Copies of this chain bind each other. A is one copy, B any other.
Amino acid sequence: MTIKVILADDHQLFREGLANLLADFPEIEVIAQAVNGKDAIDKAKQLNPDVVIMDINMPDLDGVEATAQLLKEKPGIKVIGLSMHVDKPYIKGMLEAGSSGYLFKNCSYDELIKAIQTVYSGKKYLSEKITEILIQEYLNKEEIGPSTSSDLTDRESEILKLIAEGISVSDISNQLFVSIKTINTHKQHILEKLNLKTTTDIVKYALKKGIISLE
């Protein structure tokens, strides 16, 4: 009884490498490879794999959307998300979409095998780092008093996004019908809370967190 796996990643070299690694493990069989989210959905619907290993950053249809659409039609399939960095919004997105696991690309081969086996048995598998992040988030929400939480208010998040998009402070103030001074204060609070120094840092932060994207 082998575990049937589909690999979805837009980089052929990565896919081939992974497939080759998994080929050494008789319990796991890679039945197909997909080059983007759309392809992954098509092949999964057709081939009924047990597990789909889904890269997050893919052209055409990203991993989060693909996972959501796939699980809507085939809720029995287990999906493991794979990404390069710690992107909270992506992680949250994948978990909300119903993925059974999440790993980083700098995890080990052994961890990947373990993750596949774990989700196949119906359990969830998260990498160490993700678990830490979830705990952190959980604790932050429970914390009382002057917490060390770096969470922004709704308004601050809104302004963070606008700043990161490159809109000037005065334009933001016009857009939101408040004074320039107000936007400035919010911006300062954002910088403090996130431990940043410059507007440039805000842009990079937003990109890292997936709040905005290039192009």
Contact = CB atoms under 8 A, between A and B. Distances in A.
A208 B200 contact: no
Contact of A207 (B103, B163, B197, B214): B214
Interface residues of A, number: 38
A82 B109 CA distance: 21
A13 B106 contact: yes
Q: How many copies does the complex hold?
A: 2
Given A84-B11, A164-B200, A200-B200, A109 B16 contact: yes
Interface in A172-213: 197-201, 203-204, 207-208
A105 B17 CA distance: 11
Contact of A201 (B16, B112, B166, B201): B166
A133 interface: no
For the complex of A and B, 7 pairs with smallest distance between CB atoms: A17-B17, A166-B200, A11-B105, A12-B106, A11-B106, A16-B109, A17-B18
